[in-house]
Amino acid sequence: MKTQIDPKMVYGSNHRPITYRSLIDTLNRASRFIFSLAFILSFVAASAQSKDCKDCKGQSFASITTYYALQQGSNIGFGFEGGTWNKEKSRFSYFLGAKLQWFNDSGDKLNNAAEIVHYSVYVKGQFEIINRLYVIAAPEFVNLSTFETRAGIRYVYPITHGIGIGVEPAYSFVQKQYSLNANIHFAMW
């Protein structure tokens, strides 16, 4: 008896169908691992950049930022980044970050899991326009398969000497959507 293969189903190496739920579970486990690894690496990058530098000009400090991401069609999203804030001689700062965002599920079993969960790794550059207002640009690598670029502005208000809050409206050029991040910044003195 010959087994008939349904062209609408995805099959594994042993010709058993891969269910939609098992595909989502596998993607969620992989996303959690990659997100945890990026989180640890952002702390390493921030601590490496906080070392004393005799040749550095001007005051700068390392920071860790956590944020909540709002975007049309998204249920929930959050991220973090680590980097260096330059405050005196140079108005340019840079950060390494990661974002995990869940989008609404249409309920279609043939829907790709990558369309529901977006994991992004990015490098963000920011340039200070005036005190506390920055222009940002961030090339992103989404789901380890697609490149994206976001541009926007960031406003930061200091609450204490080492903690600040901010908002960051941005536009994604590939997705053609606006997003808004609510940030909390922690200085690593």
User: Residue 61's pLDDT is what?
Assistant: 76
Core vs surface per residue 24-52: b (16+ CB within 10 A) or e: eeebbeebeebbeebbeebeebbeebbee
Q: Which helix (H) or strand (E) holds 21?
A: helix 20-49
The tens-digit pLDDT sequence of the chain (189 residues) is: 555 555 555 544 555 555 656 656 666 676 666 666 666 655 555 554 445 544 344 467 788 888 888 888 887 888 999 988 876 667 888 899 999 888 876 555 555 555 678 889 999 999 989 888 999 999 999 888 889 999 999 999 888 888 888 999 999 998 888 999 999 888 865
- The CA distance from 134 to 153, in Å, is 6
The pair of three-digit structure tokens given for residue 84, joined into one six-digit string: 């260096």
pTM above the 0.85 mark?
Answer: no
- Residue of 86, 74, 82, 178 whose CA lies nearest to 128: 86
Under a CB-based contact definition with an 8 Å cutoff, are residues 124 and 95 in contact?
yes
Residue ranges and CATH numbers for the domains of the chain are: 20-51+58-106+113-188 (2.40.160.20)
- The CA distance from 46 to 39, in Å, is 11
Residue 82 CA: distances (Å) to CA of 42, 73, 120, 154, 168: 5, 27, 14, 15, 16
Cβ neighbours of 103 (radius 10 Å):
16
User: Residue 69's pLDDT is what?
Assistant: 87
* Beta-bridge mates of residue 164: 158, 185
19 φ, ψ (degrees, to nearest 5) = -75, 160
- The CA distance from 110 to 18, in Å, is 11
User: Residue 98's pLDDT is what?
Assistant: 92
